[in-house]
Amino acid sequence: MLAIMNRLVIALLLLSTGLTSCGGASLNPPSGSAAHCLPQQGWVTPDGKTLEESAVIDRLAAHRIVLLGESHDDQAHHDWQLDTLKRLFAARPEMVIGLEMFPRKTQPALDDWVAGRLTEAQFLDRTGWRQGWRFDPALYMGIFRFAREHRVAMRALNVDSALIRAVSRDGLESTPQSLREGVGNPAPPSPAYRQWLAGVMAEHPTGKRPDELRSTRFVQAQQVWDRAMAEGLAQASKTHDGALVVGIMGSGHIIHGFGVPHQLRDLGIDSLATALPWNTDTNCDELVADAADVIFAIGPDTALTKRQ
């Protein structure tokens, strides 16, 4: 099983059950565990067939919602996201960017940032970045500046961590509505998603095997996280009718269509596409046909920020 948990997220989001939700999880496979299966840079199918960039952008832009994955602490992934956003914006200038990094309560600060009413320091302070997301803001500032420069609406997709902790500790049914922030009941997970999450739990750093109840609550917590972001994206698409909505989030929410894509389809949204960055020096075990619609291979020398 791949080491799919971003270890920094594990440290930050340790839950009261002794398990950690992988809601912020990102694919972070171990290096050296498989031969190189991808070209050094560029768009490919999950099985490694090269794709023309213009055709990929046209294909993605034709959808209602596009999901772009990431490993949260990998600058190359954020450079790829920004590059892809620019190319999608050229094709569909009516755009909304949905962001996992921000809980719903920070939406007014996102609106003020895009409107030019906040400095960068004020923006980070008002969104509680250092208390919430905690990753180096420099990793993401290119995306935030792009949105501000072009007046692209930013949508806060996440929920307060108290909700995830409560679900993981007490279960969804016992979590009070006052904590649920309006998040609806998630669509049931597929057996394959349960199995995938079981692999996440097996790699939990405590080494403790969770009992059935804690495993169930772990899955519920992950589903609530997926559902919240799916609802945020769906609402953004409804509010900004005709706009291309691009979701920026950890790849663990996207891969195999298990998480957010599954919840979006339950909400009646089938016009969606998924794209994942994949470092070429890492394991390719999960690069199967349903991993994502398209993959962007990122080699050690990739310099997306220099591309025009």
pLDDT value, residue 215: 85
In a domain? residue 74: yes
- Domain CATH code at residue 97: 3.40.50.11550
pLDDT by position in tens, the chain (length 308): 333 444 333 333 334 344 444 544 444 443 433 345 788 899 999 988 999 999 999 999 999 999 999 999 999 999 999 999 999 999 999 999 999 999 999 999 999 999 999 999 999 999 999 999 989 999 999 999 999 999 999 999 999 999 999 999 999 999 999 999 999 999 999 999 999 998 887 776 554 555 788 888 999 999 999 999 999 999 999 999 999 999 999 999 999 999 999 999 999 999 999 999 999 988 888 889 899 999 999 988 766 644 54
Residues whose CB is less than 8 angstroms from the CB of residue 125 and which lie 6 or more positions away in sequence, other chains included: none
In a domain? residue 234: yes
In a domain? residue 1: no
* Domains of the chain: total: 1
Containing domain of residue 275, as a range? Answer: 7-306
Q: pLDDT of 156-172, one tens digit each?
A: 999 999 999 999 999 99
Calculate what percentage of the chain has a pLDDT beyond 90: 71
168: closest CA among 133, 204, 129?
204
Give the three-state DSSP class for 251: helix
In a domain? residue 2: no
**Residues paired with residue 31 on neighbouring β-strands, in sequence order:** 282
What is the rounded distance in angstroms from the CA atom of residue 42 to the CA atom of residue 302? 9
Strand order through the sheet with 95-103: 41-44, 294-298, 272-279, 65-68, 244-248, 95-103, 153-158
